[in-house]
Structure 1
Amino acid sequence: MKKKNVAIVIPTLQGNGAERMVLTLAEGFIQQGYTVNIVLTLKRSIELKSSRQLKIHYFKKYYRWIPKIIRGIFLAPILDKFIVNRCDNPNLVLSNLLPSDRILCYSKLNTYLIIHNTISKQNNNFAEMRSIYTKKPVICVSQGVKTDFDRFFNSRFPSYYIYNPIDVDFINQESIKFKPKYHDYLVHVGKFKKQKRHDILIKAYHQSGIENPLILIGKGHLKEKYKKLVNNLDLNEKVIFAGFQPNPYPFIKYARLMVLSSDFEGFGMVITEALALKTPVISTNCPSGPSEILPKNNLVPVNDIEKLAQLMQQANNNPLIFSHPLNKKFYLDFTTKKYIDIING
């Protein structure tokens, strides 16, 4: 009988989309009868909830003193040995995010690199990206990410796209754990970083004249900057910075509307999470992801404050018009089987 054993490698399990995806995918593999081990390569930090107790290992190597250009060559054999010993020699290794990919692109194990964002839109060193992501097969989290990858990277290895999985049962169970103290509000869930464009969201919200409060969930280095913007626009009573929430699902479930304002995404998993909770979503039509999930009338051009304000106003007045069902292709069992197809070759 063929071994059913997967190792998923990621720097940390702090609260972001890639980390949530890893925990959800681990659950999907377990449901399909696989043994799953998670390996952390940067920090022993776990902020997110999982539906079960997982086998988590910490690759504690102080390697930041090693120049990035040779870090993978030096550490890959050590990490390979760690994975083989701790994870019972898995028949598939899935690497996530640059600090792990930088090492595992040199792995001798059956390794795939998962690309979580639109590489051409990030301020990365393209030469380094090419040296990493053309050494292994890659799995992109949306069709848009794959198109972007294929356009800019001429790899001899295959590329695939598999949507980020959504564990609808887990999300719905978590969504009723408590009820937020806020009422009849709009919500945005995402880290305070440039890509998410909270400045566009806040300015559009101000221009829309909506009286319903706007709840911002997340943390990040730009948070204080956006607090100043809120203060300058005299929105302190209406825009609420709710901080990082290990369980954001009640905030999403009870929201009147979710709004995304990103310049780019890899997938936009928070959109599918909202749809799983039957919360209407509007978003910028950014690369990549939103247009693969939402209909055209739920989308506005990137960086267009006026049109986002107009759509926010329309959706706030008639949220049901902007409701959209979650397609089965995003469900956990469907996406996990796509990964299993790769394993079975």
Structure 2
Amino acid sequence: MKRNRTIVFYLDRLEMGGVERIVLNLIKGMKGKEWTPRLVLNRLEGALLKELPSEVPLHSLNAHHLPSAVLSLARFLKKERPAILVSQRAYLNVIAAAAIQLSGRKTKLVLTEHTLLSEWWKDSRMPQRPIDRLLCGLLPMIGRMADAVVGISQGVARELEKTLKLPRERIHILYNPIIPEDLEEKIVQPIVEPWPKDEIPLVLAVGRLSPEKGYDLLLEAFAKLKSEARLAVIGNGPELPRLEELVARLRLSEKVFFLGYQSNPFPWIERADLLALSSVLDSFPTVLVEAMALGKPIVAFDCPHGPGEIIQHGENGLLVPPKDPAALARSMEKVLGDPPLALRLGRGGRLRAQDFRFETTVRAYERLFQNLLDK
């Protein structure tokens, strides 16, 4: 009898975001092997839908609130009987655990967390929803129901150990699959730069325009630069109007460019002279590894907890005290004004990026799934 090796990945939507990109990478890495990956969404929405391989089954629950999501997912599990269900984020983890209980199935449950929830609630700039606090109160119970709990970094794993009250051996640290196998092809795709052709250095930032990314701090830092430079920001999000107002107020309209969503950021990273990360919270900023893979120097806030786990200060990037625009400006100035330093940091970054190769991290997930099926 053929063994059930169907892995269902569960998300809300397939919008442009780090978590969604990671799930898409896992699906791409597993398809065509001994596994059968599937994707289930609460709603059939998102800019990344067009990047899902056509041979991967896609199912929409058409669910717009928590109760309907639980019921619809339970019906799906009862009918389709997947071997493993992999969910992401606290909200979806609660739905997934409840749906498995309701379905009566023996589907294995893998809960994945990408966020430092306690740090999120400490920061006044973050959206504070009562439902999130309510769901977080359920997480210790949900964690005990899971067959495996995954943290995407050491910092997240420590948080899960504390929040879920689980022994550390129950928590698996699995880094995200970041560096694609077709990186060389992605780099050479043409881009159109919305500024004149010249030798002015380009500082690049990549990520959703949301409060935790700290783009207001980056703009304040950029305004302090003494040397000539441009800043380009890739990403969409609710902060755009506020950031555009800040650009005008700082008189940076001729130097700052919001490029919106880019399905392939690698040509822009390749074009950049420096990658800047201004997050106030970031459990594992994938753009740092992407920039390292292309040998780009990096300046990043040492926020909880991801940047310090990826970057060795002075070897493959520069870490800056968090929420300090003046310090960020000084470090950017230092790299832009010292080509040998930029080259050395870039070389160190290329070496560090090897730890996050696509095939390496996909294999780690496959080992976890195999161990669950063997129990």
Both proteins in one fold, TM over 0.5: yes
Q: Secondary structure at the match of 2:331?
A: helix
Of residues 308-317 and 147-156 in structure 1, the stretch that sits farther from structure 2 once superposed is 147-156
| 1:116 counterpart = 2:107 | no
Contact 2:293 2:354 in 1 (8 A): no
User: 1:16-95, aligned counterparts within 5 Å?
Assistant: 16-30=17-31, 32-47=33-48, 50=51, 52-64=53-65, 68=66, 71=67, 75-76=69-70, 78-83=72-77, 85=79, 88-95=80-87
Match of 1:321 among 344, 353, 356: 344
Partners of 1:141 and 1:83 in 2: CA distance: 26
The question of whether the paired residues in 2 share the 8 Å contact of 1:59 and 1:79 is answered with: no
Does structure 1 retain, via aligned residues, the 8 Å contact 2:90–2:135? no
Q: Which residue of 2 aligns with 1:340?
A: 366
SS in 1 for 2:224: helix
2:237 is the counterpart of 1:220: yes
Identity level (%): 25
Q: Aligned pair in 2 of structure 1 residues 169, 341: CA closer, same or farther (>3 Å)?
A: closer
* SS across alignment from 2:228: coil
Rounded to whole Å, the distance in 1 between the matches of 2:22 and 2:268 is 19
Aligned counterparts of 1:61 and 1:159: Cα–Cα separation in 2? 32
Relative to the length of structure 1, the TM-score reads: 0.89
1:150 to 149, 157, 161: 161
Residues 210 and 193 (structure 1 numbering): CA distance in 2 closer, same or farther, change over 3 Å?
farther
Per-residue deviation at 1:98? Answer: 4.1
**Alpha carbons 1:217, 1:245 under 8 Å: kept:** yes
Root-mean-square deviation (CA, aligned residues, Å) is 2.3
Q: CA deviation at 1:344?
A: 2.3
Instruction: Write out aligned runs for 1:69-218 (5 A).
Output: 71=67, 75-76=69-70, 78-83=72-77, 85=79, 88-106=80-98, 107-108=100-101, 109-123=107-121, 125-132=132-139, 133-134=142-143, 135-136=145-146, 137-155=148-166, 158-181=170-193, 184-218=201-235
Which letter maps to 2:151? C
State the secondary structure of the residue aligned to 1:117: coil
Q: Deviations over 1:75-132 (max 9, x none)?
A: 54541331454xx532221112344323102224211111111111223644421303
| Structure 1 gap ranges (5+) | none
Offset at 1:322? Answer: 2.3
- For residues 201 and 308 of structure 1, what CA distance do their matches in structure 2 show? 8
Aligned to 2:124: none
* Structure 2 counterpart of 1:305, one-letter code: P
Q: 2:10–2:41: 8 Å Cα contact kept in structure 1?
A: yes
Structure with the larger RCO, 1 or 2 (CA within 8 Å, 6+ apart): 1
Are residues 265 and 236 of structure 1, via their aligned partners in 2, closer, same or farther at CA, if it must alter by over 3 Å?
Answer: same
Gaps of 5+ in 2: 102-106, 122-127
Displacement, 1:191? 1.1
Number of corresponding residues: 336
- Is the alpha carbon distance of 1:63 and 1:19 closer, same or farther for their aligned partners in structure 2, counting shifts above 3 Å? closer
Length-normalised TM-score, structure 2: 0.82
Q: Is contact 1:180-1:250 (8 Å) kept?
A: no
Question: Partners in 1 of 2:289 and 2:229 — Cα distance?
Answer: 23
Indicate the residue corresponding to 1:6 in structure 2: 7
Matched residue SS, 1:296 = coil
Whether the aligned pair in 1 keeps the contact of 2:187 and 2:267 (CA below 8 Å) is: yes
Distance 2:204 2:297 in 1: 11
